[in-house]
Amino acid sequence: MRIVLLGPPGAGKGTQAKMLAGKLALPHISTGDILRHNVANGTELGLKAKEIMNGGGLVPDDLVARMLINRLDQPDVKNGFILDGYPRNISQAKTLDKILKERDSALNFVVYLEATQKVIVQRLSGRLVCSSCNVNFHIVNMPPKVKMICDNCGGALYQRSDDKEETILKRLKVYENEVSELIKYYQDSGKLYRLCADGDSEVLLNEIIALAKQHDDTLKV
Ligand code: AMP
């Protein structure tokens, strides 16, 4: 099962992808997480990506594509994946199709998570992320039991450097510039499903699982 989650920053792609990956026993692949890992470790890719990410822009397509191919060729991806944060534009969508085709596979479906700007800004400006297991919390909506400590693994929580209000607005603009073409691309291929992401995350998860079952009726979840 190969699923892509699309949507603006703050729509909940990461949260849904993590929960879905757990339910379907598939790896969650987040290009943002892989890039942040590279930045934290000061790799060559991380050094190139750091300033771009802090400014809310997109890392060049060729760098992200190379990084993605690396990840898709790992053995744990053989039964599929939940992809979050890629593609970000039409060129990346075509690259993804090509990468999969070269490996005799293809996407099963694409979920577009739609969220309103008010909800997005509120979610992102209060988001806290675990530096160890990457689970998300929220200062108001989902505070950790102990201040700035992850309930899940005890790791330290941090606020992403691109979750400042002015960078959030820049990221939304970058996203809006690219998204309509991307949506059309997947709509034309008959793979796109639009779901409302403003509400409860468990309800949304069940909607995505129902879609997965439509695509694989042997799926036991
Ligand atoms: P995310 O965690 O998906 O919100 O991504 C955080 C940042 O990483 C983005 O604002 C971009 O700077 C960079 N990034 C993540 N995925 C991509 C991608 N597919 N193409 C280019 N840049 C990306």
Q: Six-digit token pair at 42? A: 């000061």
123 flagged as catalytic: no
Task: Please state the pTM of the whole predicted model.
Answer: 0.91
171 flagged as catalytic: yes
**Pairwise CA distance, residues 117 & 175, whole Å:** 12
Going residue by residue through the chain (221 aa), what tens digit of pLDDT does each one get? 999 999 999 999 999 999 999 999 999 999 999 999 999 999 999 999 999 999 999 999 999 999 999 999 999 999 999 999 999 999 999 999 999 999 999 999 999 999 999 999 999 999 999 999 989 999 999 999 999 999 999 999 999 999 988 899 999 998 988 898 999 999 999 999 999 999 999 999 999 999 999 999 888 88
The residue whose CB lies within 8 Å of the most ligand 1 atoms, and thus the one to mutate among 15, 39, 45, 59, is: 59
φ/ψ of residue 157, rounded to 5? -90, 150
Give every CB contact of residue 79 below 8 A, 6+ residues apart in sequence: 1, 25, 26
2 flagged as catalytic: no
- Which residue's CA is minimally distant from atom 5 of ligand 1? 32
The residue whose CB lies within 8 Å of the most ligand 1 atoms, and thus the one to mutate among 5, 39, 88, is: 88
